[in-house]
Amino acid sequence: MNTKVAPGDDFFAFANGEWMASTAIPKDRSTWGVMGELTELTNVRTAELIKTTTDAKIADTYATFMDEAAIESKGLAPVEPVLKEIERIKDKSALARALGGTIRADVDVLNNTELHTDNVLGLWVAEDLDDPTKYAAFLVQGGLGMPDREYYVDPSPRMTDLRAKYVAHVEAVLTLAKVKDAKAKAGRIFELEKKIAQEHASREDAGDVEKGNNHWARKDFDAKAPGMDWGAFFAGAGLEKQTAFVAWTPKHVTSLAALVAKEPLETWKDYLAFHALDGLSPFLPKAFVEEHFAFHAKAIGGVEQLRKRWKRAIDVTNDALGEAVGKLYVDKYFPASEKARTKVMVKNIVDAFGKRIEGLSWMNDATKARAKAKLATLEVGIGYPDRFRDYSKLEVVRGDALGNARRASKFEYDRNRAKLGKPVDRGEWVMTPQLVNAVNLPVRNALQFPAAILQPPLLDPKRPEAMDYGAAGAIIGHEISHSFDDQGALFDETGKLHNWWTADDLAHFKASGAALVKQFDAYKPFPDAHVNGKQTLGENIADVAGLSAAYDAFTASLGGKPAPVVDGFTGDQQFFISFAQGWRTKIRPDALRSRLVTDGHAPPEYRSDTVRNLDAWYKAFDPKPGQALFLAPSDRVRIW
């Protein structure tokens, strides 16, 4: 902490000042904070588990990626079959088939919210928004090597500079792969991507369920998106039997098909070769790894140093065999006592939410009944799934790092494809137990809290419980509240896309939302760039609501007795300090700028400022009018 800073001037600095002053971002990261510390701790433990396991698939995946000398000596050989296949493409039908063949299950519009894939489209198999008892095949825009359309169209100097660096990167990768005329090809590949980018939905629109929920029958693709041999495309994707899709970003689908028809076959083949090489670079010799790092991590994210190989090997192993590794993790590090303690905390926060709903003056009784029904059917997964995933059909070959990576992503794709037409598996987890994160699944009306986020310093049996409510509790409240925020209002208690609010409820909510948009728009991490209040609204509402419910639950958990004073701080003060400390993070300027554009969350410092909307924070720290964080009671945003 830095107790010389007045809480009302800068609560983040008050709670984290000493840490901010004494902490440096590790060279291999663009950001460092609680989430990074937790990830590091989890990684060290995971590495130990992986190195000592008797599970051959886990051991072989890790060891093969670690064997740099073997990868170096193989040179380009492992990727050559991929390039040869692209070389053999002789017409636009074969191109369509090849493009279809690149599709993977690497996007997720509602749960993990991953909206980027560098393949031309991404597949997400999840509950149909109109009938959550069935799975639907969502197709999401892609095709860009840089993170978002803004990188291609924004005229700012930084983006202009990154575009030049990207073209140089494309040329460098092609050159490393001994492709002829790399410079000219890089220029054409970039121009093609730019055309794809121009018809991309914005980040905001791509996250809008009402804009995304477009049911297209298979035949609609021929009518609405002419130019692509869709029969060949879907056959290449292994989706030839699928008769219904959701075209999440329809403008992109139409434009993609037109570009397939219009752009020269050779440009497309060069594009495919580059994307294959770029995507597989982490599994190729050092020169590729370093070029990949120099652009994707250093230029885009401001990271100074490549992460150590063992850390990347853990990521590779987690990507391939996530739940198998996760089972090892929870067996050792997530005791039943912590699962039970979290269960009690969740119950208290859910109850607090229920009381808040009952007490709302602006919501009519019919809507309240729906909200309570939704709360009553909410399923909360804690730590890990009841049934772990079966990897018996995944082939792992010792000594074939690139092949292992390709087989693992194909395995994951096939696993998702196989869900189509089957009943929804409500026990499936979308995050691994060893991932430091939490998630709301709107179409399942469920939440999942992986074991790795339920560890110190967010949940710690060795400290006052006030601090656990302020940290883990606020995160739990945040996720619960997503079921009732501007997204959650769209999904009813069965998970169906069906707005359960009246026009009046929505009007009040929008007005409250507008105040929060303004509050966050005013945060300026740079003189020339501010937080996008609209882009981050859903997350900011969740922070206000989650913190409020966690506070109520903490108060209720005391059963009328005062919380113990520790180091001179009252229970309420501990609660809020712990909340702000849970957000302690340092971010490199480039990465912060990139986040302002692409992230649905506000930067952590401003998330910690959420406290200024709670009356209890004013009672705990007594900030005065005129101080930076002070809000008059009428300006405090109260939504739930």
Residue 405's SS3 state is: helix
* Beta carbon of residue 438, minimum distance to Zn ion (angstroms, whole number): 8
Helix or strand holding residue 441 (H, E): strand 439-441
For the chain, first and last CA: distance in Å? 30
* Beta carbon of residue 378, minimum distance to Zn ion (angstroms, whole number): 15
| Closer to Zn ion by Cβ: residue 278 or 539 | 539
Is the CB of residue 420 less than 8 Å from the CB of residue 125?
Answer: yes
Is the CB of residue 142 less than 8 Å from the CB of residue 435?
Answer: no
| Closer to Zn ion by Cβ: residue 245 or 520 | 520
* Beta carbon of residue 478, minimum distance to Zn ion (angstroms, whole number): 6
| Closer to Zn ion by Cβ: residue 242 or 512 | 512
| Closer to Zn ion by Cβ: residue 83 or 438 | 438
The structure tokens 């701790």 sit at 41
Name residue 61's amino acid.
Answer: T
Is the CB of residue 405 less than 8 Å from the CB of residue 102?
Answer: no
| Closer to Zn ion by Cβ: residue 66 or 516 | 516
| Closer to Zn ion by Cβ: residue 158 or 534 | 534
* Beta carbon of residue 492, minimum distance to Zn ion (angstroms, whole number): 20
* Backbone angles phi and psi of 508, in degrees to 5: -65, -45
| Closer to Zn ion by Cβ: residue 114 or 414 | 114
* Beta carbon of residue 491, minimum distance to Zn ion (angstroms, whole number): 15
* Beta carbon of residue 440, minimum distance to Zn ion (angstroms, whole number): 7
| Closer to Zn ion by Cβ: residue 35 or 89 | 35
Positions in the binding site for Zn ion (CB under 5 A): 539, 542
Is the CB of residue 501 less than 8 Å from the CB of residue 367?
Answer: yes
| Closer to Zn ion by Cβ: residue 118 or 539 | 539
Is the CB of residue 121 less than 8 Å from the CB of residue 141?
Answer: yes
* Beta carbon of residue 495, minimum distance to Zn ion (angstroms, whole number): 17
* Beta carbon of residue 107, minimum distance to Zn ion (angstroms, whole number): 18
Q: What sign has the CA pseudo-torsion 579, 580, 584, 586?
A: positive
Is the CB of residue 583 less than 8 Å from the CB of residue 607?
Answer: yes
| Closer to Zn ion by Cβ: residue 539 or 552 | 539
* Beta carbon of residue 607, minimum distance to Zn ion (angstroms, whole number): 10
* Beta carbon of residue 602, minimum distance to Zn ion (angstroms, whole number): 11
Helix or strand holding residue 462 (H, E): none
* Beta carbon of residue 637, minimum distance to Zn ion (angstroms, whole number): 16
* Beta carbon of residue 85, minimum distance to Zn ion (angstroms, whole number): 40
Other Cβ atoms closer than 10 A to 265: 14
Measured CA to CA, the distance from residue 552 to residue 457 in angstroms comes to: 21
* Inter-CA distances, 576 with 16, 476, 571, Å: 12, 15, 9
Measured CA to CA, the distance from residue 24 to residue 31 in angstroms comes to: 10
Q: How would DSSP label each residue in 483-511?
A: GGSTTGGGB-TTS-B---S-HHHHHHHHH
List the structure tokens of 342.
Answer: 């979290």
- DSSP E strand stretches across 181-330: 215-217, 244-247
Other Cβ atoms closer than 10 A to 205: 12
Is the CB of residue 136 less than 8 Å from the CB of residue 127?
Answer: yes
Measured CA to CA, the distance from residue 266 to residue 89 in angstroms comes to: 9
Cis amide linkage into residue 457, ω under 30° from 0: yes
Is the CB of residue 398 less than 8 Å from the CB of residue 60?
Answer: yes
Helix or strand holding residue 127 (H, E): strand 121-128
Residue 265's SS3 state is: helix
| Closer to Zn ion by Cβ: residue 83 or 459 | 459
Other Cβ atoms closer than 10 A to 528: 8
Helix or strand holding residue 450 (H, E): strand 446-450
Contacts of 216 (CB under 8 A, 6+ apart): 224, 244, 245, 246, 247, 250
